[in-house]
Amino acid sequence: MRRTLVAVAVGLVLGASGVFGGSAAADDLARGEALYGLCAQCHGAEGKGNKLAEAPSLAGLPQWYIENQLHKFQDRTRGDHPGDVNGLRMAPMSRALRSDEDLSAVAAYIANFPASTPEPLLVGGDVERGKGYFTTVCIACHGPDAMGNQQVSSPPLRYASDWYLYRSLEKFRAGIRGVNPADTVGATMRPMSLTLPDEQAMRDVIAYIRALPE
């Protein structure tokens, strides 16, 4: 099945752009597949994540966002706060990618995973209240469909693990993420997270995101 996915991904790459030759594209994706073996131990063979390992779903994330986050982990812009246990674990894993070519190859491979909605684990959210919070807090950057906006470096939220969205908001609100001066995007996200008044509001907005139609 994995080889089939690679073959399909190669076809998509070649169909979308004539920049790369067939052999080069196939080699890059094969290289990405081999490098992803280390990631699969926590994130799963198809990038669907694993709550027990505190590893979020990756399926549905675009290549540009994956590359940005891996670079942040590598240069300690992210994952260097003593309160960010998962980030501290992820940072050395990112450095197993020895070159920018390796990083791009694994990011391209992940970006070709079929997007899927992870099993919901978070409970107690109110969709209608969440819609109000999303419209005032999130929509400007993440879009009305929560599919993100590369121009402002905002990732899609639609296919994210709900527990991971909650943890991320907790970290931004607590100053565990978004306080590194080099992380300009995180610095934008932190004050936005603080506009959510409490934990219930966090659950509400996540419930709304999860209720958005496919």
96 lies in the same domain as 6: yes
Q: Using one digit for the tens of pLDDT, what is the confidence trace for 164-176? A: 999 999 999 999 9
Any domain includes 201: yes
Determine the structural domain holding residue 68 and report its residue range: 2-11+20-111
pLDDT per residue as tens digits for the range 39-76: 999 999 999 999 999 999 999 999 999 999 999 999 99
Task: From 155, 205, 161, select the one nearest 49 (Cα to Cα).
Answer: 161
Same domain, 7 and 93: yes
- 77-82: list long-range contacts, CB under 8 Å, 24+ apart: 77/180, 77/182, 77/183, 77/186, 78/177, 78/180, 78/183, 78/186, 80/180, 81/176, 81/177, 81/179
Residue 154's DSSP bridge partners are 149
Give residues with Cβ within 8 angstroms of 100, minimum separation 6.
none
The CATH number of whichever domain residue 80 belongs to comes to 1.10.760.10
Give the pTM: 0.85
Instruction: Please identify which residue in the block is written with the tokens 């998962």.
Output: 86
**Do 160 and 198 belong together in one domain?**
yes
